[in-house]
Structure 1
Amino acid sequence: MLVELKVNGKKRKVEIDCEEYLVDTLRKLGNLSVKRGCDTGCCGLCSIWIDKKPVLSCAMLTVRALNKEITTIEGIEKEASEFARILVSEGAEQCGFCSPGFIMTVIAMKEELENPTEEEIKHYLTGNLCRCTGYMGQLRAIKTYLGVK
């Protein structure tokens, strides 16, 4: 079926199957930052925003995103670049495979939580897995980005 989606502020028409997951549709549209990882909603690689809230696109059918605002990291380049610079300065960058989903979640956290505690940060990030780090550098970078001590 032919549907119209609003992705990163632009209306896009795309042919989908009725049971197609949003991760596949977004990749089909060229949003290659959205990655398929675990297919169980546990790794965070496919994290995007629907109406400015983080969502796992591997767990959402495309038809459920109709008439909603979809944002991928390609749609928030300025904010993503700002946080990525902080990741690098804190020595927290690694292979980068998980970075887009992780960055989407961190930026959403900045919009949602005011002055979060370390425990609140960790809880918010539950489900964003990185196989390269021990998370301490990432936690330092997040605290710096959020202006939290």
Structure 2
Amino acid sequence: MTNRHLTPSGKAGMDESSPLASSPLSRRAVLQLAGGAASLAAIPSGDALSADAVGTEALPVGSIRLIVNGESKELELDTRQSLLDVLRETLDLPGTKKGCNQGACGACTILVDGRRIVSCLTLASMYDGADIQTIEGLEKNGELHPLQQAFVAHEGLQCGFCTPGQIMSGIGCIAEGHAGSPEEIQFWMSGNICRCGAYPGIVEAVADAARRT
């Protein structure tokens, strides 16, 4: 028997002693709550979710050899790791910066076999045996690379975050023969973003180093 009674208007109503009599929930809300409870009841308990049920996969590990700044490195690594993460986290070379991590800003530019690439979009496992040069490898016998010197002389930096990528890209730009004019430098360096806007100094630095190379 339900707890119903006649209201003053003569219509059937909920008994005041019922716990739902004073509830602000509508009939739809009550049905939704009941459905949610039924769904939860159908989920296995924590004990039922064993490791076998969930499944465990071993990390895909591979062996590669990299020549980084003239030094041979034998590495065991997750084959899904980017070259950027291997340089920064495994080889402790944080000079190569992680900016957008989407290949759009150029902060992670390095040279691989003499060609400039964005290392955040590059799997390290693809470059077994490659010759890699980062900003840490430019200084020789206590002397800065000519382009590093030019960046200082022409104030081609402000905060400095993008500078390693700018310099590595500039070296590649000069080696490719794309530093014949300020306009050409601007075009071939357009993949490297300087959020501080130090572009005039960057272009002057690359042009100066190109003349002295």
Shift in alpha-carbon separation, 1:115–1:121, aligned structure 2, 3 A = closer
Per the alignment, in what secondary structure is the counterpart of residue 25 of structure 1?
helix
Pick from 100, 122, 133: which aligns with 2:197? Answer: 133
Structure 1 residue aligned with 2:87:
26
Question: Does residue 59 of the first structure (1) align with residue 121 of the second (2)?
Answer: yes
Task: Identify the structure with bigger relative contact order (alpha carbons < 8 Å, sequence gap 6+).
Answer: 1
In structure 2, the gaps of 5 or more residues are: 1-60
Contact 1:7 1:69 in 2 (8 A): yes
Structure 2 residue aligned with 1:15:
76
Distance in 1 (CA, whole Å) between partners of 2:115 and 2:179 is 18
Distance in 1 (CA, whole Å) between partners of 2:125 and 2:93 is 18
The code of the aligned residue for 1:14 comes to L
RMSD (Å), alpha carbons: 1.9
Distance in 2 (CA, whole Å) between partners of 1:132 and 1:126 is 15
TM-score by length of 1: 0.89
Contact 2:178 2:188 in 1 (8 A): no
Question: Does residue 39 of the first structure (1) align with residue 108 of the second (2)?
Answer: no
TM-score by length of 2: 0.64
Per the alignment, in what secondary structure is the counterpart of residue 16 of structure 1?
strand
Distance in 1 (CA, whole Å) between partners of 2:156 and 2:168 is 16
Structure 2 residue aligned with 1:142:
206
Structure 1 residue aligned with 2:185:
121
Residue by residue over 1:76-112, the C-alpha shift from the partner in whole angstroms, topping out at 9 and shown as x without a partner, is: 2248542222222223221111111110111112212
Segments ≥4 residues shifted beyond 4 Å: none
Contact 1:21 1:60 in 2 (8 A): yes
Distance in 2 (CA, whole Å) between partners of 1:44 and 1:128 is 4
The code of the aligned residue for 2:92 comes to G
Tell me how many residue pairs correspond in the alignment: 148
Distance in 1 (CA, whole Å) between partners of 2:145 and 2:78 is 34
Identity %: 36
Q: Shift of the alpha carbon at 1:15? A: 2.6
